[in-house]
Amino acid sequence: GEDVEQSLFLSVREGDSSVINCTYTDSSSTYLYWYKQEPGAGLQLLTYIFSNMDMKQDQRLTVLLNKKDKHLSLRIADTQTGDSAIYFCASKGGGATNKLIFGTGTLLAVQP
């Protein structure tokens, strides 16, 4: 079945760039998403990318997609302590299903 994998933990210093990586298996994925979850809170949509794009930039966020390798990354420029959270990537399959398959989540810890 479909699978989405992420590294579990990333620690960076405030002001540095963070890069969170994600790999997925479903080659028919049409859209790929990044969600942010703070402790005990809901899932906040950060950005998404369509599968025929290879890059999308939105303020401090840059998404890179390598469709051949099924690799997605989220770069956060000038990381702030408020960026500390769990980041989930999610893929939406092709065809009739619209369900999201989530990755395992990456805990981003920003050190002041």
Partner 1 sequence: AAGVIQSPRHLIKEKRETATLKCYPIPRHDTVYWYQQGPGQDPQFLISFYEKMQSDKGSIPDRFSAQQFSDYHSELNMSSLELGDSALYFCASSPDSSTDTQYFGPGTRLTVL
Binding site for partner 1 (CB under 8 A): 31, 33, 35, 40-45, 48, 50, 88, 92, 96-105
Provide the minimum distance between the beta carbon of 100 and partner 1 in the complex, in angstroms, as a whole number.
6
In the complex with partner 1, the residue whose CB is nearer, 1 or 112, is 1
Provide the minimum distance between the beta carbon of 57 and partner 1 in the complex, in angstroms, as a whole number.
17
In the complex with partner 1, the residue whose CB is nearer, 105 or 108, is 105
User: What is the Cα–Cα distance from 83 to 61, expressed in whole angstroms?
Assistant: 11
User: What is the Cα–Cα distance from 2 to 29, expressed in whole angstroms?
Assistant: 10
Provide the minimum distance between the beta carbon of 104 and partner 1 in the complex, in angstroms, as a whole number.
5
What sign for the dihedral angle of Cα 95, 26, 70, 89? positive
64 close to 7: Cβ distance less than 8 angstroms: no
Length of the chain: 112
Provide the minimum distance between the beta carbon of 98 and partner 1 in the complex, in angstroms, as a whole number.
5
